[in-house]
Amino acid sequence: MIILAVAFLAIAVYYWATPADSLPHFVPGYEAGVKQVHFKHGLAALILAVASGVWAWFSTGKMPTSPESTPKS
């Protein structure tokens, strides 16, 4: 998941740094002759990056222990 979060973050930066007419033709948001960047596409990629990072963080946390495995006093 961390790799996915980093990839989405890179995509967000790419959308914010590249005008729409300079994007590859296969990338959503390509528009010939448009010099504006796609802020919303970058924001969506950033939200996916944060969600992937949070998912990775919570999936690697401590696992709860069962009552049978804890020592009795």
Q: What spatial distance separates the first Cα and last Cα of the chain, rounded to whole Å?
A: 40
Structural tokens at position 42:
């970058």
- Taking the model in full, what pTM does it have? 0.76
Structural tokens at position 63:
């696992």
Q: How much is the pLDDT for 71?
A: 62
Per-residue pLDDT reduced to its tens digit, 11-37: 999 999 999 888 888 888 888 888 888
Amino acid residing at 28 = P
Separation CA 61–CA 69 (nearest Å): 18
